[in-house]
Structure 1
Amino acid sequence: MNADSAVTERMPALYLSHGAPPLADDPVWPGELAAWSAALPRPKAVLMVSAHWEEAPLALGAVEPRPLVYDFWGFPEHYYRVRYDAPGAPELADAVRKLLRGAGTPVQDVPDRGLDHGAYVPLVEMYPEADIPVLQISLPTLDPVKLLETGRKLAPLRDEGVLIVGSGFFTHNLAALRHQGGGVPGWSAEFDDWGTRALRARDIDALLDFENKAPAGRLAHPRTEHFAPLFVTLGAAGDGLEGEGARSVIEGFWMGLAKRSLQFG
């Protein structure tokens, strides 16, 4: 991105479970996110891929500050007044276009598309000063193999001080939660355990075929958009095989869903 990139510390790649807007009111989670970011090298920019933006071909969001996308309904009014006025990231957008188009991947620009809650909700807790440039890109597909390849193409950005973040949720089936009592449902706990063991074993093939290989895979993710950002992260992290592999930074459950969040590198 610039001449200083040669001496920039290589950034890790993250997958985080981003939570709903009430995350800000949770007694534990905001502190976990804040401690995580405090332990990271300070990024020059953040590249976010969120479960809540699917668009093909791959789209780049606004490179200048735009209003947030309040893509949720039925919450108290104060959640719609949250602001996150991070600087735009035109240089990062140029670098993403160059990497993807150079590899034959079509890219489009959506210049009025602000950050959605999968991006800004965790960033408010991690970088509350909103002083780091942020660029959000879309999920161009839900195919894990293709997303892994997208992450591989974006991986060089890590050497330029860019924090690549896949934002989803390690288990995500809101409909099933509505039909049961409190506590952690078995399907959520089973999938969380299986996914953790697969990541520890670096079993990328099993993760790519999680709908068939994981216990309760299709119940934990009846639609795969909240697990899909993990594959962008894995690709950016050398398929999760570099260094010590995945490290679980945040564990446990929130309203029955696994909030496992991971750092690679």
Structure 2
Amino acid sequence: MTTTTAAADALVPATHPFAGHLRRAAAAERHRSWTPDDGMLPAMYLSHGAPPLLADAGWMAELHTWAHDLPRPRAILVVSAHWESDAIAITNPHPRELVYDFWGFDPVYERMRYDVPDASWLAGRVREVMPDGVHVHEQTGRGLDHGAWVPLKAMYPEADVPVLQLSLPTADPERLLRLGAALRPLRDEGVLVLGSGFMTHGLPFIQWSQPDVVPTWSSEFDAWAAEALGRGDVEELSRFAERAPGVGFAHPTVEHFTPLFVTLGAAAEPTAPVQGVVEGYWTGLSKRSFQVA
């Protein structure tokens, strides 16, 4: 049966890199679904880029391979940089219109769809795992923003996995670590917990006329983060605003870095070294992405 997602994807010009990605994904080996025998799924932090991620064949391939190296999850819970809130909230668990929260890109991205299955059971479980006294609000009119649907279209282009988005309720690393810890039991149930941001995000300071130039502030911040993640130094990472080189340029606002703490909090051992998966730069910004056991 042709879905609305597939129908919209069919309108992407055949020469567009995303159309090529869809062809390669369709030819890939069948993706095995998670079962309880697989045990706990990893949690991820990924740099989600912008809609033109879906024009970068290499980046899409990295994300798709990453997804296919793991069992297909029962559901995905995304904490995206693009939905900050004062309280904890979830998107409507029934498929809704996407949030096209960007501008200035090829209109092809505003015609894309990602109509995933109902995630009501996951919404219920999110409410159940929250600490006593924590109310989870449901934003019935809100769909997935581009911090969720853009990378997921590369990773799971069939749009056949339920997806729920959880808001980013604070910038405080300690509170986000505790939020991740509350979500940890979901990993035993086949839920992929995903923090979505960008390892460096200094958009005002990018040299757009020289997209291959990596600014010093971006490379130095990335190297600092990679070293701290490699030794599991959560305390160092938590003090990024004081200790990270180039932080004022790499993160003039911090919402693209802080989802990392939800991922680390969801780890079985938050202070264990992470497993790096994606490295490199896009228009000077670090794509560093990783998973935790």
Compute the TM-score of the two structures, normalised by the length of structure 1.
Answer: 0.93
In structure 1, what is the Cα distance between the partners aligned to 2:145 and 2:107? 17
Equivalent pair of 1:21/1:117 in contact (CA under 8 Å)? yes
Q: Which amino acid aligns with 1:261?
A: S
Q: Which amino acid aligns with 2:94?
A: E
Equivalent pair of 2:233/2:271 in contact (CA under 8 Å)? no
- Is the aligned partner of 1:122 residue 2:151? yes
Superposition deviation, residue 130 in structure 1: 0.6
Superposition deviation, residue 208 in structure 1: 0.4
Q: Corresponding residue for 2:283?
A: 255
In structure 2, what is the Cα distance between the partners aligned to 1:203 and 1:103? 29
Q: How does 1:20-31 map to 2 (within 5 A)?
A: 20-31=50-61
Indicate the SS of the match to 2:255: helix
Q: Which amino acid aligns with 2:164?
A: L
Q: Corresponding residue for 2:218?
A: 188
In structure 2, what is the Cα distance between the partners aligned to 1:133 and 1:179? 36
- Is the aligned partner of 1:80 residue 2:110? yes
Superposition deviation, residue 5 in structure 1: 7.9
In structure 1, what is the Cα distance between the partners aligned to 2:224 and 2:132? 34
C-alpha offsets along residues 119-160 of structure 1, whole Å, 9 cap, x if unaligned? 000000100111111100100111111111100111110001
Q: Corresponding residue for 1:152?
A: 181
Superposition deviation, residue 61 in structure 1: 0.4
Superposition deviation, residue 94 in structure 1: 0.4
- Is the aligned partner of 1:32 residue 2:66? no
C-alpha offsets along residues 92-118 of structure 1, whole Å, 9 cap, x if unaligned? 110101111x44323211122100000
Q: Which amino acid aligns with 2:103?
A: W
Q: Which amino acid aligns with 2:267?
A: A
In structure 2, what is the Cα distance between the partners aligned to 1:67 and 1:239? 37
Equivalent pair of 1:17/1:168 in contact (CA under 8 Å)? yes
Equivalent pair of 1:204/1:239 in contact (CA under 8 Å)? no
Unaligned runs of 5+ residues in structure 2 are 1-33
Equivalent pair of 2:208/2:283 in contact (CA under 8 Å)? no
In structure 1, what is the Cα distance between the partners aligned to 2:190 and 2:45? 17
In structure 2, what is the Cα distance between the partners aligned to 1:63 and 1:6? 23
Indicate the SS of the match to 1:141: coil
Equivalent pair of 2:91/2:164 in contact (CA under 8 Å)? yes
In structure 2, what is the Cα distance between the partners aligned to 1:92 and 1:18? 23
Superposition deviation, residue 6 in structure 1: 5.6
- Is the aligned partner of 1:42 residue 2:72? yes
Superposition deviation, residue 181 in structure 1: 4.5
**Larger RCO (alpha carbons 8 Å, 6+ apart):** 1
In structure 2, what is the Cα distance between the partners aligned to 1:258 and 1:76? 23
Q: Which amino acid aligns with 2:47?
A: S
**Cα RMSD after superposing both structures:** 1.7
Q: Corresponding residue for 2:230?
A: 200
Aligned length: 259
Q: Corresponding residue for 1:171?
A: 200
Q: Which runs of 4+ in 1 moved over 4 A?
A: 4-8, 178-182
In structure 2, what is the Cα distance between the partners aligned to 1:11 and 1:64? 24
User: Aligned in 2, Cα 1:74/1:217: closer, same or farther, shift over 3 Å?
Assistant: same
- Percent identity of the aligned residues? 53
Unaligned runs of 5+ residues in structure 1 are none
Indicate the SS of the match to 1:52: strand
Superposition deviation, residue 179 in structure 1: 7.8
In structure 2, what is the Cα distance between the partners aligned to 1:130 and 1:93? 18
Superposition deviation, residue 16 in structure 1: 0.2
Indicate the SS of the match to 2:57: coil
Structure 1 window deviating more from structure 2 (7-16 vs 107-116): it is 7-16
C-alpha offsets along residues 55-103 of structure 1, whole Å, 9 cap, x if unaligned? 1211010110001000011222111000001112111110101111x44
In structure 2, what is the Cα distance between the partners aligned to 1:261 and 1:82? 24
C-alpha offsets along residues 2-37 of structure 1, whole Å, 9 cap, x if unaligned? xx9864521000000001001111131011111110
Equivalent pair of 1:60/1:136 in contact (CA under 8 Å)? yes
Equivalent pair of 1:141/1:147 in contact (CA under 8 Å)? yes
- Is the aligned partner of 1:137 residue 2:170? no
C-alpha offsets along residues 240-259 of structure 1, whole Å, 9 cap, x if unaligned? 335xx311100000000000
In structure 1, what is the Cα distance between the partners aligned to 2:132 and 2:209? 47
